[in-house]
Amino acid sequence: MRRNSVAIVIVMITLMSCVTSLHPLVTYNTAIADDRITGVWAENGQEYKVQKFFNSDFFELNKGDLDKERKDNDGKLSEKSKRDSLLFSKSYVITYTKNGIRYALFGNMIRLNGQLFANFLAVDMNNINGKDEKIELNNRLESGTIARVQFKNANTIQLDFIDGDFLYKQINAGNMKIKHESDKLYDTFLITASTAELQQFIQKYGNDDRFFDKENSVTLIRKS
Residue ranges of the domains in the chain?
Answer: 6-49+96-222
For residues 119 and 122, give the distance between their C-alpha atoms in angstroms, rounded to a whole number.
10
Length of the chain as a residue count = 224
pTM summary value? 0.85
**CA Rg value for the chain:** 18
For residues 15 and 4, give the distance between their C-alpha atoms in angstroms, rounded to a whole number.
13
Each of the 224 residues of the chain gets a pLDDT tens digit; together they read 333 333 333 344 334 445 889 999 999 999 999 999 999 999 999 999 999 999 999 999 888 876 776 666 777 778 888 898 999 999 999 999 988 888 899 999 999 999 999 999 988 888 887 555 555 544 444 678 899 999 999 999 999 998 888 888 899 899 999 999 887 665 677 899 999 999 999 999 999 888 887 887 899 999 99
- Asked if residue 115 lies in contact with residue 207, where contact means CB atoms within 8 angstroms, the answer is yes
For residues 177 and 201, give the distance between their C-alpha atoms in angstroms, rounded to a whole number.
8
Q: Per residue, what are the HEC states of 63-116?
A: HHHHHHHHHHCCCCCCHHHHHHHHHHCCEEEEEEEECCEEEEEEEEEEEECCEE
Query: Which pLDDT does position 163 carry in this prediction?
Result: 87
- Asked if residue 207 lies in contact with residue 113, where contact means CB atoms within 8 angstroms, the answer is yes
Query: Which pLDDT does position 70 carry in this prediction?
Result: 63
